[in-house]
Amino acid sequence: MWTVVYIAPSVSLAEQLKDRLSKEGLLVTLRAVGAVSLEDAKAIEVLVPETEAEEASEIINEYF
């Protein structure tokens, strides 16, 4: 099951986080909030498998 670990305010930030998490070996997907496409979304959910959520949260906290 996929778990939201961050809600990014822009596509560029969501893509940066996806790249960072992927480089750490995590599976990552992005999902638009309230829109059909990422480009039209006001926010982007960053999701990882539930088993990787804690590790992803730690990596995101270090990123900021």
Which carries the bigger pLDDT value, residue 28 or residue 39?
28
Q: What is the CATH number of domain 2-63?
A: 3.30.70
User: Could you write out the three-class secondary structure of the chain?
Assistant: CEEEEEEECCHHHHHHHHHHHHHCCCCCEEEEECCCCHHHCCEEEEEEEHHHHHHHHHHHHHHC
The residue extents of the domains of the chain are 2-63
Whole-number pLDDT of residue 4? 97
Name the residue type at position 28.
V
Cβ atoms of 35 and 41 closer than 8 Å: yes
Categorize the per-residue pLDDT at 29 as very low, low, confident or very high, splitting at 50, 70 and 90. very high
pTM for this prediction? 0.89
Residues of the chain above pLDDT 90, percent = 81
Lowest mean pLDDT among 1-5, 27-31, 38-42, 48-52: 38-42
Query: Angle, to 10 degrees, between the axis of helix 53-63 and the axis of helix 11-23?
Result: 120
Tell whether the model's pLDDT for residue 13 goes beyond 90: yes
